[in-house]
Amino acid sequence: MGSFTDKSDNYKTFKGVQPAADYVGAEVREQIFGSEVPGLVDFLQARIAHESVLKARDLASEVGVSCGAPCDGPYFVSDRDMGFGASTDDSSYALVKPGKKGAPLRIILAHTDSPCLRLTPQPVFIESDADLCLAYPSFSLMTRPSGAIRVDDWLGMDVDIIGRAYGEKTRHIDIPGRIKHRSFHVDSGEETRRPFELKIDSGVRKLGRLYELFGMKDGMDFACAKLYAVPHFPGTNGRLVGNELGAYGLDDRASLWAATSAGLESLSLEESDNTWIVLGLDKEETGSTGANGGYPGFCESVIKETLEVVYGDEAKNFDIPLDLRRRFLGNMPVISADCDVALGDAELQQTGDSLDFFNSAKTGWGPFISSEGPEWNDREVSPEHVARLASLFSNGLGGKKPRDRFHMIGKGTAYDSEFATGTMADVFDRFFPCVDVGLPITGLHSPRGEAVNVYDVHWLKEMLGLYLDSE
């Protein structure tokens, strides 16, 4: 026995630490791997926010939810269903259950978009040098980040250019492309690469043919389109290794799926008189602004019209959003079903530098409850709200060790490290109390390296269901 691992007690006594996967019965495991994982993988075939809306609408309509307009029963609406028309892209949705007068209102915020690239308004590019252009085989298209991306992650990617081009007729665009990588022999090593390097090779040799492919008259028509570049899926987007599912778009469509599934299960159980709203909103990765991203617009419209369904003419006297805090939410916050950095192999190497080991999310430890705001001293999370959520989940999840199904985190990044301010809870906290409850993701924002523990997803779905039906 000359192996180092066989002689080390550290190795011989070690068991992979996944508290969320321990003390789980065969019935729950069958539910996770037989039903939930296939359902999540199917949902993750959505490549952009609009496709997430279509996936969610299908899930709702399959169980008989009314789609297209508010009504006095459970309903599903998108931003365009609610009359926002040309100001939105049909990229946000709400799943709603109107309840009884006096029963609590529960709201879950999730988001439909994932970090990707977006074509610029004038994207067409060739090398203009008289000699160098002779080695340029086809037209390229310039991009800019849509959300936080790392340039190196996208080099060498086959992508799909998808979206809509507007004009006399709206055209759906779905065109293949490739972001070429550098040859090893010319890689300069340590220099920082910039987003403008991410140009998509179209494979098209003539300018007229390029415009024809996109259905455009000339280059100005690109400004009348919203076109994204996302990873091309050569097969199914999603592969299970052990208990971890790797896929593009887990941030934040895994939490979005969990929230939507929790709502649909609540409808099937019919155990609560609560009114609740599950929102899938766009633009979280770029700052949560606009009619279908922030509070004013689609979100506010859904809340007000739902309260009108429940309370009738009485709703005319409500002061929204102020009355959400004072009257309807009661002692519970709104939940932001989000994602955060989980400590994988690479992340562990950064603890003490850019990540706080003790306050960061851990994969396999269940969903996290964030007890601090995304910016130091910028907003506060009520410890009482955190305690109420923890009590709800501890008492409701059941089993041998329910408190092993979730964990508390603080601000996982170091005090002096850069951190984005466009998180869902941060944007909405000015309108109502909001707590992040979400999934730990390793490789966060990577187009091909994100992974989530499927037990974490299961327990998030269960926790969100408890919240929707809570008193």
The pLDDT value recorded for residue 264 is 98
Stated length of the chain: 471
Of 171, 198, 231, which residue sits at a domain end?
A: 231
* Domain co-membership, 124 together with 108: no
Do 141 and 105 share a structural domain?
no
Last residue of a domain, one of 204, 231, 258: 231
Same domain, 172 and 304: no
Reported as a single tens digit per residue, the pLDDT across 278-323 is: 999 998 777 666 778 888 889 999 999 999 999 999 999 999 999 9
Q: What's the number of domains the chain is made of?
A: 2
pLDDT-based confidence at residue 58 (cuts at 50, 70, 90): very high
Average pLDDT, the chain: 89
pLDDT of 413 reads 59
pLDDT (average), residues 369-390: 76
Supply the pLDDT for residue 22.
Answer: 95
Residues 64 and 132 occupy one common structural domain:
no
DSSP string, 363-421: TTS--EEE-S-SSTTT----HHHHHHHHHHHHHHH-SS-GGGS-EEE---B-TTS---S
**Residue written as tokens 């998030």?**
460
Return d(Cα 337, Cα 461) in angstroms, integer: 10
Residue-range definition of the domain harbouring residue 121: 116-231
Q: Indicate whether 364 belongs to any domain.
A: yes
E strands present in 282-389? 334-336, 339-341, 368-370
Residues 353 and 322 in one domain: yes
pLDDT of 426 strictly over 70: no
Same domain, 74 and 90: yes
Question: Of all residues in the chain, what percent carry a pLDDT higher than 70?
Answer: 91
Give SS3 for 91: coil
pLDDT for 379:
58
**449 lies in the same domain as 307:** yes
Q: For position 377, what pLDDT does the model report?
A: 47
Please enumerate, as own/partner, the contacts of 58-66 that have beta carbons within 8 Å and a separation of 24 or more. 59/260, 59/261, 59/264, 60/95, 60/260, 60/264, 63/264, 63/267, 63/268, 65/95, 65/264, 65/267
Give the CATH number for residue 123: 2.30.250.10
